[in-house]
Amino acid sequence: MCVKTMIGIPLEDEVYKVEIVCRDINAGDKTFKYKIVRPGTPDLRKKFSKVLIIYSPDLKTANSRGGWFIHSVHDAKVADYFWVKAC
């Protein structure tokens, strides 16, 4: 099973910072896969310049990674919430 954790990135200036944080995490944890994309819906485009998608093998891991990212990463400003859905 594949589960996506999605976290909005409100400002274009923050995208590079998020990318650096994700690269650093991936360097230490090869199971950490991610992608940064343009928001898919008009409502999301009003709120976010990009969306970080973190791929996980199960729902528990997806929720853990999302919670950890928004509460522990202070180098880049991201939304204060995340959402999870199946791949």
What is the rounded CA–CA span in Å between residue 18 and residue 2? Answer: 22
Q: Considering the entire predicted model, what is its pTM?
A: 0.91
Which of 53, 42, 58 has its CA nearest to residue 78?
Answer: 53
Q: Which amino acid is at 7?
A: I
pLDDT band, residue 54 (cuts 50/70/90): very high
Q: Which CATH number fits domain 3-86: 3.30.70, 3.40.50, 3.30.450, 1.10.3470?
A: 3.30.70
Q: What integer best gives the mean pLDDT of the chain?
A: 93
pLDDT at 76 over 90: no
pLDDT at 77 over 90: no
Q: Where are the domains of the chain?
A: 3-86
Look up residue 20 and give its two tokens.
């650096």
Q: What share of the chain is helix, strand, coil (3-state, %, to 5)?
A: 45, 25, 30
